[in-house]
Amino acid sequence: MEKIKLILFNRPFILTLWFGLSLFAVAKDVVTHFSNKETTHNNYIIYKHNFLNLIHQQSLFGPEPQYYFDLNHYGPVFGLIIAPFALLPNQIGVVLWVLFLAYILFYSIIKLPINDFQKTVILLLNINSMMGSSGNTQVNPLITALVIFSFIFIKNKQDFWAALMIVIGTAIKLYGVVGLAFFFFSDNKIKLILSLIFWSAVLFVLPMLVSSPAYVLQTYHNWYPDLLAKNAANLVSTRGNISVMGMISKIFLIKNLSNTLILAPGLLLFGASALRIKYWRNTQYQLLLLASTLLFATLFSTGSEPPTYIIAFIGVSIWYVNLNRPITGYERFLLIFALVLTNFSPSDLFPRYLRDKYVIPYALIALPCLLIWLKIVYEMLTRNFGSETAESRLQTRVAVAD
């Protein structure tokens, strides 16, 4: 058992799995289609054409069945982010894109204010999610990293750069706006506000340099109805709306469930848990808010799909490594429940019959994360962070035993 632990928690071994399995997930398609220099990674082709349509001043949101199925829902700023990869041949671009996403999420995790062992545990717990995201060439690892970076920069009193992370994340997928949850941790809130205004202006103008002001203005005008249409489609999608609202409506067969009825109490709980002012400078409290934010952004979004839950599971992992040790039986159950139902159920490691018959149709991927989010809220509202010593917060070897 001790030898197994030494292997599982060995950083080089973890990194080999983190990057190696992500590369494997995307490279299967590259090898299959090497002869015709194409890729069947539909999401990547959508991303690439975001940039191509931007520079050619064509609509970002219209259907292009000659290139890909589904629709693009990302704004013009994303076209600039994908540009270095879109300029390359598809086979090379898609591999480098996936490796970039794996690296940016890895780098954000190792910059967290926790010890090295805790970082290794977070990476280990999310290898499967990272592999699944890579296989779908999803942008979610980047969104997760941007939220984490916004937290890190604010904690490090670098509000100018925190604002950039928040604005970029919001400009890509709107999820990044949750980085504002860390506003109260800032020691210079005026600087943060001014930086948000500055970067919003810069990123609004920047796409105009490769297109035109009129085109960008029209694109933002068209983006809102596109997002509304996407939300309407999510509400009736089998694989979409993997949220608290979706889970309730699918389990109890409630048609036209008002999102506000669920979202409003969620916002109240989230807000109340963030208002213990005396702990705003406490790292444990701050990390719990980071975990809560990542979970909240996923759980209460009708746009959440199974691959989106890499965002939530990073939150689950941050919560787990920061639990008081020894952990309780209920906390251990929550982690195992989340690993099985949230992390592994979308993959081939989970019985397909159960996934297709119950997990996806009833949005059960969200259930463990909801229970953990409620546990985090309870901890943030009741835990006496001031009584915790540095020694009790860094019990790494006890964490192995858990």
Residue-wise pLDDT tens digits, 76-109: 999 999 999 999 999 999 999 999 999 999 999 9
Give this prediction's pTM: 0.93
77 exposure class (CB count in 10 Å sphere: 0-12, 13-18, 19+): buried
Contact, 283 vs 390, CB < 8 A?
no
Burial class (CB in 10 A: 0-12, 13-18, 19+), 388: middle
Closest CA to 95 of 139, 146, 135: 135
* 387: confidence class by pLDDT, cuts 50, 70, 90: low
Percent of the chain residues topping a pLDDT of 90: 76
pLDDT bin (cut points 50, 70, 90) of residue 10 is confident
In the prediction, which pLDDT does 174 show?
Answer: 83
Could you give the residue ranges of the DSSP H alpha helices within 236-325? 244-251, 259-273, 283-299, 309-321
**Confidence band of 5 (pLDDT split at 50, 70, 90):** low
Tell me if residue 65 falls in helix, strand or coil. coil
Give the pLDDT confidence score for residue 394 in this predicted structure.
44
* Nearest in space to 265 (alpha carbons), one of 246, 284, 247, 245: 245
Q: How confident is the model at residue 151 (pLDDT cuts 50, 70, 90)?
A: very high
CB 354 within 8 Å of CB 320: no
Residue 344 structural domain: 2-401
- 150-164, 221-235, 334-348, 354-368: segment of lowest average pLDDT: 221-235
Q: What is the mean pLDDT of the chain?
A: 90
- Name the least confident of 26-30, 56-60, 122-126: 26-30
Would you say residue 392 has pLDDT above 70? no
391: pLDDT strictly greater than 80:
no
- In this prediction, residue 266 has a pLDDT band, given cuts at 50, 70 and 90, of very high
More confident site: 75 or 349: 75
The pLDDT > 70 percentage for the chain reads: 91
Residue 79 confidence (pLDDT)? 96
pLDDT at 4 (0 to 100): 58
Structure confidence at residue 29 as a pLDDT band (50, 70, 90): low
Band (pLDDT 50/70/90 cuts) for residue 3 is low
Q: In total, how many domains does the chain have?
A: 1
- For residue 219, give the H/E element and its range: helix 213-235
CA dist 379 and 273 (Å) reads 9
Q: Is 85 helix (H, G, I), strand (E, B) or coil?
A: helix
| Region 255-259 average pLDDT | 86
- Nearest residue to 372 (alpha-carbon basis) of 324, 320, 328, 321: 320
Instruction: Count CA atoms within 13 Å of residue 229 on its CB side.
Output: 11
pLDDT at 257: 86
Q: What's 342's DSSP letter?
A: I
**Average pLDDT score over residue span 247-257:** 91
Asked whether 292 and 284 are in contact (CB, 8 A), the reply is no
